[in-house]
Structure 1
């Protein structure tokens, strides 16, 4: 096949004609949406007259509403096996298929929108490709494993690949050359909402997120606390973020850090978990000097708004979710390949290898002193870039 000589992460194929409406299938959480933003910007650049609709989840709708970006609207996915997992509100559905009635209503509404291109940016396609094909779009593009249904244009799904690059490759198959995505900008309303959070008497603001959806990706709370206390003694204000489900964890980190500090310094570290809407979190991260976190959605959001980050990763997650540059982002990796409890091979992931059932952290061996030094190094870089 002769491919057009256009730049991209992968091949950039011929553009589709008369494109007015683009749908992008992307379930999951905060980080899952952030992964797609470079590709969404590329699609917007290639098809400037088209609207981009994300078929996603409530957190995706909240991000889109609170920031300025390439997405025009978000349609809520119905509960569907392998696409948007349930149960929802305690309901259980026959054979784990999901809410069949809601699915039928969803597909009827989406077919009425007459999408010109539908892109699958949700895994290997075993469940998501049949879902995408039911939208009735003129053209379909996406990833697929060997057992998944074919789309019009397909990218082989290989698990270990940088996620933003994966979706840039998919955008390239739809005719969109890769671009460097601009920072995600929180709206002025959310910037105003966080005005009172920053302590201007401190030399820097470090935002810390100790949580992660998978417990195996979490650095121990005591390690985060030691890092927070050290940074406070270096002059930083430390705010610990998380959603409502993480309040106990963030409070534990705050209290452990406070015990290591003199009384007159304890006010410089506190938990704000559960106090911020997603737009407020984006605005706070935009104001932060550095973000310190395990591999999590808030770390990806910090990178998206242009804030330097220090991330703590299991090596496999670093391949898929780690930042590519090192001027503004530092990555600390655990090279563990076996479950600490049962010895199961944790490098075999995805649909081919069920979870061994143990949630012991895989990143305990990463030293606090090394992480803190990177936060301090990036603090100096961040303050220099901001003219402070």
Structure 2
């Protein structure tokens, strides 16, 4: 679909997207997309990946990502054709850099003759020079004022919805949005792991109590109260998480004190996580990768957010997704302004929960509402 054209930054704008949609590049057969980080970081990039695939359907899209990204993309259908694991590099993939490994990586990338390299990894201070070393004919991405210029650059301002930010970058590469948020389908052959059990007679509520930033975690006691309430209402409750979250999930299950609440944290590989989330009736979680993955799989979610994270990562719709936001703007311990993030201010040393004031009853009512909605939809 094309609309009126206009001049923008020396390129021609066609139609409308999240931002300007610039003219496509010619003769693009190989596309590299840089997106490091965790599970949620990749999911934020999926709409842009889908847009790039639609704009350049004959091109091969290679994601430069992390091991968890490869694991997810092996468990779902996606627009990505290949995954290359990033080497450890400052500001791109944290870890001990090996100069020889980096040199070999960039030599390999240059041999792949990328026509287009797209940077979806932050403000570009480190990622833009990294992208330039790939040797692509064209480069597109975000940049802060102190970052290296790319051929086409979108200004990076921290408070922007991440999937929409990535779509704005894709628009600068000539790609119209296909979806505003990630949509994924489990790969064929995926099955719910035995550890998760099966009981179609009762709704399944999956809870992920973890988050990379401890300030984003709802208190353990509140998760336990929610789990117990859901169990008393007839639901089966599964607590999930990686091996580092096993103790947290076990503690919540113990506090809930009912056999209907069971922890399988640390027991799932990525394919198992996808299968369990896809099988759920409702997923309750902090702002975390599993919540974003559940949403991408089309599963109703109830999210617990600090307000700043709602701006950057909250679900856009409310028919299937509910958001509970804490409006705290200062650290509960030292009082520092926590709305100044990224490059504008250092993070204080305190890990107090910023979402502790969100009530159990409010979250529980949304779980009940979404369970009822799904039951009514299935009955119809």
TM-score range, shorter chain: over 0.9
Matched, 1:290 2:307: no
1:61 match: 70
- Residue of structure 1 in register with 2:260 after alignment: 268
Q: Quick check: 1:29 aligned with 2:38?
A: yes
Distance 2:234 2:190 in 1: 26
SS across alignment from 1:53? strand
The answer for the alignment partner of 1:223 in structure 2 is 222
Distance 2:195 2:337 in 1: 47
Offset of 1:382 from its aligned partner?
A: 2.1
Inter-partner Cα distance in structure 1 for 2:219 and 2:182? 33
Count of equivalent residues: 370
Match of 2:199 in 1: 199
Whether the 8 Å contact between 1:116 and 1:139 is mirrored in structure 2 is yes
Q: Report the 3-state secondary structure (helix = DSSP H, G, I; strand = E; otherwise coil) of the residue aligned with 1:307.
A: coil
> Residue 377 of structure 1 aligns with which residue?
369
| Shift, 1:287, TM fit | 1.0
Match of 2:359 in 1: 367
Q: Which residue of 1 aligns with 2:3?
A: none
Does the Cα contact within 8 Å between 1:8 and 1:169 map onto a contact in 2? yes
1:157-196 deviation digits (Å, cap 9, x = unpaired): 0100000000000111000001126731112332254696
Deviates more, 1:24-33 or 1:183-192: 183-192
* In the alignment, structure 1 residue 51 sits paired with structure 2 residue 60: yes
**Which residue of 316, 333, 341 maps to 1:324?**
316
CA contact (8 A) 2:192 2:276 kept: no
Any idea what SS the aligned residue of 1:189 has?
coil
- How far apart are the structure 1 equivalents of 2:182 and 2:285? 22
* Alignment of 1:12 onto 2:37: no
How many angstroms does 1:4 deviate by? 3.2
Match of 1:83 among 92, 96, 99: 92
> Structure 1 residues 242, 175: closer, same or farther in 2, change over 3 A?
same
SS of alignment partner, residue 190 of structure 2: helix
> Counterpart of 2:190?
190
CA drift of 1:353 comes to 1.3
Counterpart-to-counterpart distance in 2, 1:66 and 1:76: 17
CA contact (8 A) 1:16 1:175 kept: yes
Question: Match for residue 214 of structure 1?
Answer: 213
Deviation at 1:282, TM superposition (A): 1.0
In structure 2, the residue matched to 1:91 is none
SS of the equivalent of 2:176 reads coil
How many angstroms apart in 1 are the aligned matches of 2:376 and 2:175?
A: 35
Q: Could you tell me how far apart the structure 2 residues matched to 1:290 and 1:36 are?
A: 24
Kept in 2: contact 1:142–1:154 (CA 8 A): yes
Aligned counterparts of 1:69 and 1:153: Cα–Cα separation in 2: 26
Per-residue CA shift, 1:25-83, capped at 9, x if unaligned?
00100000000011111111111111111101000000111111111111111111100
5+ residue gaps in structure 2? 1-6
Whether the 8 Å contact between 1:124 and 1:144 is mirrored in structure 2 is: yes
Query: Tell me, which stretches of 5 or more residues in structure 1 are unaligned?
Result: 88-97, 259-265
Equivalence for 2:4: none
Separation in 2, partners of 1:378, 1:385: 10
Q: TM-score, normalised by structure 2?
A: 0.95
* Separation in structure 1 between the aligned mates of residue 252 and residue 221 of structure 2, nearest angstrom: 7
Does structure 1 conserve the Cα–Cα contact (< 8 Å) formed by 2:46 and 2:182? no
Distance (whole Å) between structure 2 residues aligned to residue 244 and residue 195 of structure 1: 15
Pick closer, same or farther for the CA change 1:194–1:69 going to 2, 3 Å. Answer: farther
Give the root-mean-square deviation of aligned CA atoms: 1.4
Give the structure-1-normalised TM-score. Answer: 0.93
- Classify the secondary structure of the residue corresponding to 1:311: strand
2:324 matched to 1:349? Answer: no
